[in-house]
């Protein structure tokens, strides 16, 4: 008896300590990642083809003058760093929202056709209006992204309640991607200048951005971000399932439309500024889920720190790895992100050992939904749409 009693007390003490630890862990992680972000910002201002020491960097930053250091910091490195922060934060938060909305951990914000819409707009801007500066292309990219998102909303909307509207939306994005990609291809076939501009744009880079283009996309991204932050509570309830959320009195269609608009604004703004950058929206939410758990109220704010960390880290790596040349940040993120995705796939497929996902996630997993790529959930949609599969 005594032994059992002691062990019970110990267990309680242990769990108490554990919970205190867990309680303190989140601020600690937040603090550490903020620290990391600051370090990366300083590194990002200093590192490049003309490396600056930290003292030179600070002198250049805080006493703006006509010295070389100051010009390098203010004209080259600071816009680049700001662009990386803005793009990282918006892509990562868009990824968190998208995954919460679709309840599919492999959903990526780029699936809405935003990238190809922005691409076709940029190519048209070069081919038909002769605009080759990144500052001028931002507006076109923004408009193209918005147009593509609106189109996929329109095409993906459905009247019947039995169909999964989000899956339809992704399918509409795939279809638009194909059509737009074809038109972009035909335009670039006949216009070498447009092709030249497109091949650099499509890689995704934050180099040579102007303050003007950053200022152009920031309001758009801020609106998307505020909408996303307002949606934290409804989306957390939505994780319980559509029926449960509806019975708790949530206006599902309004939440969906707002969330998708937020994702579009965030993703469209980021793409307009830096071109299509893959895997940030996919990898950051997953890494955070392991660190801070599954609560949206923690994930979304943390993604605003972690996204910039990944983007800045990738950008710095791209500057360092092939001195004196640079590798664009979009390529670095793909090469970091793809192994993460691979690891995730392997991990998901050996599920029973992974306790870190919430109850809903595990429930999804047992019903095989969780283990599916977007393409597999498309499969479900297709089964519903194509009569042959049903009859077979």
Using rule CB under 8 A, residue 168 touches other proteins: yes
Q: What is the rounded CA–CA span in Å between residue 105 and residue 97?
A: 11
DSSP letter (8 states) at residue 208: T
* Identity of the residue, 34 or 345, whose beta carbon is nearer to other proteins in the bound complex: 345
Among 349, 355, 367, 390, binds other proteins (CB under 8 A): 349
Q: Whole-number minimum distance, CB 389 to other proteins, in Å?
A: 7
Among 182, 247, 354, 366, binds other proteins (CB under 8 A): 182
Using rule CB under 8 A, residue 177 touches other proteins: yes
Residue 268 contacts residue 145 (beta carbons within 8 Å): yes
* Identity of the residue, 34 or 342, whose beta carbon is nearer to other proteins in the bound complex: 342
Residues 90-119 that bind other proteins (CB under 8 A): 106
* Identity of the residue, 64 or 185, whose beta carbon is nearer to other proteins in the bound complex: 185
DSSP letter (8 states) at residue 237: H
* Identity of the residue, 196 or 233, whose beta carbon is nearer to other proteins in the bound complex: 196
Residues 268-307 that bind other proteins (CB under 8 A): 278-279
Q: What is the rounded CA–CA span in Å between residue 337 and residue 32?
A: 22
DSSP SS3 for 336: helix
Environment class of residue 6 by beta-carbon count within 10 Å: exposed (0-12), middle (13-18) or buried (19+)? exposed
| Contact pattern from residue 310 through residue 329 relative to other proteins, giving x for each residue in contact according to CB under 8 A and a dash for the rest | -----------------xx-
Among 222, 227, 338, 363, binds other proteins (CB under 8 A): 338
* Identity of the residue, 221 or 316, whose beta carbon is nearer to other proteins in the bound complex: 316
> Maximum distance among all alpha carbons in the chain?
86
* Residues 57, 59, 62, 65, CA torsion sign: negative
Using rule CB under 8 A, residue 375 touches other proteins: yes
Among 74, 139, 195, 211, binds other proteins (CB under 8 A): 195
* Identity of the residue, 129 or 343, whose beta carbon is nearer to other proteins in the bound complex: 343
Q: What angle do CA 173, 349, 241 make, to 5 degrees?
A: 55
Main-chain dihedrals φ then ψ at residue 157, nearest 5 degrees = -70, 150
Q: What is the rounded CA–CA span in Å between residue 341 and residue 198?
A: 27
Residues 129-158 that bind other proteins (CB under 8 A): 155-158
Tell me if the bond preceding 132 is cis, omega within 30° of 0.
no
Using rule CB under 8 A, residue 190 touches other proteins: yes
DSSP SS3 for 24: helix
Q: Whole-number minimum distance, CB 86 to other proteins, in Å?
A: 21
Residue 385 contacts residue 171 (beta carbons within 8 Å): no
Residue 360 contacts residue 240 (beta carbons within 8 Å): yes
Among 35, 196, 251, 254, binds other proteins (CB under 8 A): 196
DSSP letter (8 states) at residue 113: S
Among 210, 351, 358, 360, binds other proteins (CB under 8 A): 351
Q: Whole-number minimum distance, CB 153 to other proteins, in Å?
A: 12
Which are the contacts of 48, defined by CB distance < 8 A and separation ≥ 6? 72, 76, 77, 319
* Residues 46, 52, 53, 59, CA torsion sign: negative
Contact residues toward other proteins (CB under 8 A) are: 106, 155-160, 163, 168, 171-172, 174-183, 185-186, 188-190, 192, 195-196, 199-200, 202-203, 278-279, 327-328, 330-331, 334-335, 337-339, 341-342, 345-346, 348-351, 368, 371-373, 375-376, 378-379, 382-389, 391-392
């Amino acid at each position: 008896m005594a032994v059992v009693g002691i062990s019970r007390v110990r267990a309680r003490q242990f769990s108490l300590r554990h919970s205190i630890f867990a309680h303190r862990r989140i601020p600690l992680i937040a603090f550490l990642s903020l620290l990391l972000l600051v370090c990366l910002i300083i590194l990002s201002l200093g590192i490049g083809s003309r490396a600056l020491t930290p003292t030179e960097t600070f002198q250049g930053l805080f006493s703006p003058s006509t010295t070389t250091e100051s010009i390098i910091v203010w004209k080259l490195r600071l816009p680049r760093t700001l662009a990386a922060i803005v793009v990282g934060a918006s892509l990562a938060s868009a990824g968190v929202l998208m995954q919460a909305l679709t309840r599919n951990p492999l959903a990526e914000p780029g699936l809405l056709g935003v990238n190809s819409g922005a691409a076709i707009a940029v190519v048209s801007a070069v081919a038909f209006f002769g605009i080759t500066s990144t500052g001028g292309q931002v507006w076109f990219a923004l408009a193209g992204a918005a147009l593509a998102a609106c189109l996929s909303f329109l095409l993906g909307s459905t009247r019947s309640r039995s169909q999964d509207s989000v899956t339809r939306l992704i399918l509409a994005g795939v279809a638009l991607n194909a059509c737009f990609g074809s038109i972009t291809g035909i335009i670039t076939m006949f216009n070498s200048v447009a092709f030249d501009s497109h091949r650099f744009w499509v890689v995704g880079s934050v180099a040579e951005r102007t303050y003007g283009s950053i200022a152009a996309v920031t309001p758009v991204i801020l609106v998307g971000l505020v909408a996303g932050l307002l949606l934290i509570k409804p989306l957390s309830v939505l994780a319980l399932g559509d029926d449960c959320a509806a019975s708790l009195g949530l206006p599902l269609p309004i939440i969906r439309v707002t969330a998708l608009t937020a994702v579009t604004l965030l993703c469209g703004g980021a793409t307009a500024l830096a071109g299509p950058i893959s895997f940030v929206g996919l990898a950051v939410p997953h890494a955070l889920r392991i660190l801070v758990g599954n609560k949206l109220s923690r994930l979304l704010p943390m993604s605003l720190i972690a996204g910039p960390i990944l983007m800045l880290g990738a950008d710095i790596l791209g500057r360092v790895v092939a001195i004196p040349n640079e590798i664009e940040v979009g390529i670095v993120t793909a090469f970091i992100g793809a192994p993460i995705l691979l690891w995730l796939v392997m991990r998901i497929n050996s599920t029973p050992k992974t306790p870190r996902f919430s109850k809903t996630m595990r429930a999804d997993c047992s019903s095989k939904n969780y283990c599916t790529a977007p393409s597999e959930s498309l499969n479900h949609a297709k089964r519903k749409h194509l009569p042959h599969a049903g009859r077979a």
